[in-house]
Amino acid sequence: MTQIIQFIPKHEISANQNLDDFINFAHNELTLWSDLRGFTWTADRWQTTHTGIRFINFENKDLPPKSRSQPIHLMHPSFIEFAKAFLRYKHTCTNQGNKQRHRCITTDRIFVAPNMATPTSLNLTSGIGK
């Protein structure tokens, strides 16, 4: 019997690795909101400095703010990880008084292949913290 091997192109592996690296960077290296009482990365609700953030899907966007989210209300788990990483990263970069602002990506870090008009890969972690 023939064994089927799932082929994953190198550019997809690279993109997945970049995404994983970005999420790990935001989770483990950025400290924004980690000093707030009750803040944990794994929570489905973050209380930030100015507001609360709930990681619920669009279908349930009108749930009352104080209601307890059920698993069916939440975004897909893999998207939640990206959403949390993006929010933490974005707020670190835009918070003018933040000491970690220098750790943000600048646009010159985007790799554009010479024969392509659009970026083929975005290494979100290259050069961060250098």
Q: What are the residue ranges spanned by the domains of the chain?
A: 32-103
pLDDT given at position 93: 83
**Residue 122 pLDDT > 70, yes or no?**
no
Q: 106: which 2 tokens? A: 């600048």
As a whole number of angstroms, the distance between CA 78 and CA 96 comes to 30
pLDDT digits (tens, 9 = 90+) for 43-93: 999 988 888 899 999 888 888 888 888 999 999 988 999 999 999 999 888
What's the whole-model pTM score? 0.66
DSSP E strands, the chain: 45-47, 52-54
